[in-house]
């Protein structure tokens, strides 16, 4: 059935119904009015928006609409994780391109619902519009406790305690990452290789494919890091070197990475070789892991308590030299030149 | 200069710079981090998302990118007006299609900034992504005072006092609209007619063109209506009959409109004739005026205090009959059949 046999409002009702308990039906104004409303206590509102555009961020031959739904939640919520915020609600704006069917949107809604349950958020509202290309834009809302914070100008110190920021790295900090950076990019590389060869990716690739299609935002880690005293984080969406570059410039510090310490995924090394696995770890995007900077003791204490699905690994340090720059070195101390440029939303990925 | 000569991050810096004081630089976490954060007091968070898609909601030959920027704010904020909420911040997600230039985005940012100043909101963050088609998705955030509201299940009465809802119309209420419904659709009709004829719309059409290109969300009216004791509102985005239909179904009431009472714009009547002006008032969308239902005395008291740019006019009443249906009657009591279907986001507008 083509999508426009359903009217706009029947389609919205169908999607909200499909979401089940992932739709926030018990908030003050649930989905269905001009806007959603929910009760908040005093503190900081934390909000972010992210888009998944067909052809730019996903293709129908590399992931299902269910995967897109999962990622629509995970990628937005990941920005809240990087702030150390608690995540609560999302709004989803769907632009529906030609060829989408109601069943496609059922799949999308199922993926959204599963991801919402995984990440502890619910859908409070959204928007649908016909378009010449399909995309899903998710706004994620969260909160942070902030005793006495009114705004940054009034009390920057109080704000500094309330969230993780990318401009809070200090020379002397250690740098750590969660999980296995490059796994998502390795998954995509294997999916694309299998498409070219006409077969399916090998079973050994399954965890890498999942890293690409069903990433998990590190909300618990972000909050634990803030509680442990960390002040600086970023999520790995554009690629490790590029994301740490954002930290280096925002904090006006240098960052040094020891390539040998990078926790490569064993399947990426086995299937793509160590050189390619390293390149993807440095330059491949969309991991949605967290990079943190903090005193080494803070990171070590945090690592000791982290759940095993996203172990924290120290990979380098923050320095007062080469401010604004990230340098990765191999075991011999030689600078590793990145072979993959990292994501730029105005250019195609180079992988 | 093509857009991708600028990198993603230079482009974002350029847009934020262009926004001037419309960018929220003094909040706890201003634009530039993974997420934005601002201080909130206890109460209700009110949030909505709306998309303006090229080809669906606007075309380059009917409005400038500056107009699109204005509307990107106005249309989202209008949903907060319809809740009686105070508007505070917006996030803008831009999908940048082929052919856009940095200068186009400068124009867009100028329109956003002007609309933000007009509506008393600021940009707290956003997202940019390359896409095959251009669209701008705006999330608007506001708040409502809500003593003791935790959630709807816990205290529906407290919630009912806190916001205007579309499910709160009661038989016996009067129905009123602000401004001159149909003016925006009349403006678009005149723009399209001038395009076909190869000329420009007449000077008399200027207020109608402005209604289409630079609509003003009725934030002050929404808040005043709530304070005056109104409980039910909707904004006119899909067309008067269709939007009142949402109210009728959500509230399980009937609504009767007297067509002779509709405040048609004099320029629409003069340039398009009274029959077409009436049809556009009933079925043309995108006015971003408010429709309210409340006891007649409440609406009359509110009308007496409204600013002259958006006078409030009583146009009908809420009844216990024909629940879920809106009926418009002419002066002879005959039912007026709408000749324009109203907006459905999955279908092209019929005008």
Sheet bearing A36-40, strands edge to edge = A36-40, B43-53, B135-144, B86-96, B122-130
**Which among B56, B82, B167 is the nearest to A131, CB-wise?**
B56
Q: Is residue A102 situated within a structural domain?
A: yes
Three state DSSP letters for chain A: CCHHHCCHHHHHHHHHHHHHHHECCCCCECECECCEEEEECCEEEEEEEEEEEECCCECCCCCCHHHHHHHHHHHHHHHHHCCCCEEEEEEEEEEECCCCCHHHHHHHHHHHHHHHHHHCCEEEEEEEEECCCCEEEEEEEEEECCCCCCCCCCCHHHHHHHCCECCCCCCCCEEEEECCCCHHHHHHHHHHHHHHHCCCCCHHHHHHHHHHHCCCCCHHHHHHHHHHCCCEEEECCCCHHHHHHHHHHHHCCEEEEEHHHCCCCHHHHHHHCHHHHHHHHHHCCCCCCEEEEECHHHHHHHHHHCCCCCCEEEEEEEECCCCCCEEEECCCCCECCCCCCCCCCCCCCCC
Q: Are residues A139 and A23 in the same domain?
A: yes
Alpha carbon separation from A113 to A118, A129, A210, B128 (Å, rounded)? 9, 21, 17, 25
Task: Please tell me the predicted confidence (pLDDT) of residue A37.
Answer: 96
CA distance B234 to chain A (A): 7
DSSP state for residue B323 in the 8-state scheme? T
Partners of residue B49 in chain A, C-beta under 8 Å:
91-93, 125-127, 137, 139
CA distance A24 to chain B (A): 11
Q: Are residues A169 and A143 in the same domain?
A: no
**Which among B26, B28, B56 is the nearest to A130, CB-wise?**
B56
CA distance A333 to chain B (A): 30
Task: Please tell me the predicted confidence (pLDDT) of residue A197.
Answer: 85
Alpha carbon separation from B290 to A41, B116, B287 (Å, rounded)? 29, 19, 9
CB contact under 8 A, B29 and A152: yes
Task: Please tell me the predicted confidence (pLDDT) of residue A351.
Answer: 34
Task: Please tell me the predicted confidence (pLDDT) of residue A119.
Answer: 98
CA distance A220 to chain B (A): 16
CA distance B246 to chain A (A): 9
The residues pairing with A48 across neighbouring beta strands, listed in sequence order, are A140
Q: Is B348 exposed, middle or buried (0-12, 13-18, 19+ CB in 10 A)?
A: exposed
Q: Are residues B117 and B215 in the same domain?
A: no
Which of A119, A147, A175 corresponds to the end of one domain? A147
Q: Is residue B337 situated within a structural domain?
A: no
Identify the segments of chain A with pLDDT beneath 70. Answer: 1, 147-158, 160, 306-309, 347-351
CB contact under 8 A, B36 and A48: yes
Partners of residue A47 in chain B, C-beta under 8 Å:
35-37, 89, 91, 124-125, 139, 141
pLDDT tens by residue, chain B, 351 residues: 677 778 888 899 999 999 999 999 999 999 999 999 999 989 999 999 999 999 999 999 999 999 999 999 999 999 999 999 999 999 999 999 998 999 999 999 999 999 999 999 999 999 999 999 999 999 999 999 876 565 554 465 667 689 999 999 999 999 999 999 999 999 999 999 988 888 777 889 999 999 999 999 999 999 999 999 999 999 999 999 999 999 999 999 999 999 999 999 999 999 999 999 999 999 999 999 999 999 999 999 998 876 666 899 999 999 999 999 999 999 999 999 888 777 777 765 433
CB contact under 8 A, A39 and B150: yes
Task: Please tell me the predicted confidence (pLDDT) of residue A305.
Answer: 79
Q: Are residues B74 and B124 in the same domain?
A: yes
Q: Is residue B155 situated within a structural domain?
A: no
Q: Is residue B278 situated within a structural domain?
A: yes
Which of A120, A147, A174 corresponds to the end of one domain? A147
Domain count, chain A: 2
CB contact under 8 A, B47 and A89: yes
Per-residue pLDDT tens digits for B334-348:
999 888 777 777 765
Q: Are residues A41 and A190 in the same domain?
A: no
Give me the domain span that covers residue B266. Answer: 164-329
CB contact under 8 A, B30 and A152: yes
Q: Which of B4, B5, B346 to mutate to test the interface with A (most CBs of A within 10 A)?
A: B346
CATH of residue B301: 3.90.650.10
Chain A residue with minimum CA distance to B157: A28
Q: Is residue B46 situated within a structural domain?
A: yes
Nearest Cα to Cα of residue A180 among A200, A210, A203, A204: A210
Q: Are residues A122 and A36 in the same domain?
A: yes
Task: Please tell me the predicted confidence (pLDDT) of residue A308.
Answer: 64
**Which among B7, B27, B124 is the nearest to A152, CB-wise?**
B27
CB contact under 8 A, A131 and B40: no
Q: Are residues A179 and A143 in the same domain?
A: no
E strands of chain B, at which residues? 36-40, 43-53, 86-96, 122-130, 135-144, 174-178, 232-235, 254-258, 290-294, 312-319, 326-329
**Which among B28, B83, B151 is the nearest to A152, CB-wise?**
B28
CA distance B219 to chain A (A): 13
Per-residue tokens: A130:
């016909």
CATH of residue A131: 3.30.1330.10
Q: Are residues A23 and A98 in the same domain?
A: yes
Q: What is the pTM of this model?
A: 0.94
Q: Is residue B348 situated within a structural domain?
A: no
Q: Are residues A169 and A316 in the same domain?
A: yes
């Amino acid at each position: 059935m083509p999508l426009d046999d359903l009217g706009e409002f029947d389609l919205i009702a169908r999607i909200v119904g499909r979401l089940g308990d992932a739709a926030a039906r018990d908030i003050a104004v649930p989905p269905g009015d001009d806007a959603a409303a929910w009760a908040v206590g005093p503190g900081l509102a934390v909000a972010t928006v992210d888009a998944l555009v067909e052809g730019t961020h996903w293709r129908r031959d590399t992931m299902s609409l269910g995967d897109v739904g999962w990622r629509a939640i995970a990628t937005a919520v990941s920005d809240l994780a990087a702030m150390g915020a608690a995540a609560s609600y999302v709004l989803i704006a769907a632009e529906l391109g030609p060829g989408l069917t109601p069943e496609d949107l059922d799949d999308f809604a199922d993926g959204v619902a599963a991801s919402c349950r995984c990440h502890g958020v619910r859908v409070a509202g959204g928007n649908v519009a016909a378009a010449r290309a399909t995309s899903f834009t998710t706004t994620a809302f969260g909160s942070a406790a902030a005793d006495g914070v009114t705004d940054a100008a009034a009390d920057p110190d109080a704000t500094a305690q309330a969230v993780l920021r990318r401009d809070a790295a200090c020379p002397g900090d250690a740098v750590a990452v969660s999980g296995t950076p490059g796994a998502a990019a390795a998954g995509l590389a294997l999916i694309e290789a299998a498409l070219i060869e006409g077969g399916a990716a090998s079973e050994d690739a399954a965890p890498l494919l999942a890293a690409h299609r069903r990433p998990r935002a590190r909300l618990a880690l972000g909050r634990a890091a803030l509680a442990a005293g960390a002040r600086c984080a970023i999520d790995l969406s554009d690629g490790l070197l590029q994301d740490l570059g954002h930290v280096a410039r925002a904090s006006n510090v240098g960052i040094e990475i020891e390539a040998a310490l990078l926790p490569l995924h064993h399947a990426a090394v086995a299937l793509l070789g160590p050189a390619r696995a390293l390149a993807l770890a440095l330059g491949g995007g969309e991991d949605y892991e967290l990079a943190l900077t903090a005193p080494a003791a803070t990171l070590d204490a945090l690592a000791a308590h982290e759940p095993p699905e996203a172990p924290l690994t120290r990979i380098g340090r923050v320095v007062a030299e080469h401010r604004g720059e990230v340098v990765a070195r191999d075991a011999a101390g030689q600078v590793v030149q990145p072979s993959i440029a990292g994501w730029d939303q105005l250019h195609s990925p180079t992988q």
